[in-house]
Amino acid sequence: MIDTAVSGNLASAETFDARFRRLDEARWLASRYAPADERRALAALALFHQELLRALGMKEAMIGKIRIQWWRETVEALQSGDKPRRHDLSEELAWLLSGRTALAQDLHTLLDRFDEALDDHLSGTDHAPGGLHEARHHACEAGAIYLAARALNPSAAEVWREALEACAIAALSAKAGLPDATERFGSARRLIRGAPGDLWPAVAHLATVRPGPAPGPLGQRLAVLSAVFWRRI
**pLDDT class of 3 with cuts at 50, 70, 90:** very low
- Burial class of residue 224, CB neighbours in 10 A (0-12, 13-18, 19+): buried
For the chain, the structural domain boundaries read 13-230
**Mean pLDDT in the chain?**
90
Q: Which of 13, 14, 16, 17 is nearest to 4 (CA)?
A: 16
- pLDDT score of 83: 86
**pLDDT class of 124 with cuts at 50, 70, 90:** confident
- 3-class DSSP assignment, residue 24: coil
- pLDDT score of 4: 45
CA torsion, ordered 194, 199, 200, 202, to nearest 10 deg: -140
Asked if residues 170 and 137 have their Cβ atoms less than 8 Å apart, the reply is no
**pLDDT class of 8 with cuts at 50, 70, 90:** very low
Asked if residues 97 and 108 have their Cβ atoms less than 8 Å apart, the reply is no
Asked if residues 64 and 58 have their Cβ atoms less than 8 Å apart, the reply is yes
| Cα 229 versus chain centre, distance | 22
> ∠141-144-148 over CA atoms, to 5°?
145
Asked if residues 35 and 100 have their Cβ atoms less than 8 Å apart, the reply is no
Q: Which of 52, 88, 49, 84 is nearest to 69 (CA)?
A: 52
Q: How many CA atoms does the CB half-sphere of 156 hold within 13 Å?
A: 14
* Dist. CA 223–CA 211, nearest whole Å: 13
Give yes or no for residue 223 having a pLDDT over 90.
yes
* Dist. CA 110–CA 143, nearest whole Å: 6
Question: 110-137: b or e for each residue (b if 16 or more CB lie within 10 Å)?
Answer: bbebbbebbebbeeeeeeeeeeebbebb
- pLDDT score of 178: 86
Asked if residues 83 and 57 have their Cβ atoms less than 8 Å apart, the reply is no
- pLDDT score of 222: 95
Give yes or no for residue 85 having a pLDDT over 90.
no
* Dist. CA 210–CA 99, nearest whole Å: 34
Question: CA distances (Å), 132 to each of 54, 79, 118, 126, in order?
Answer: 21, 32, 13, 8
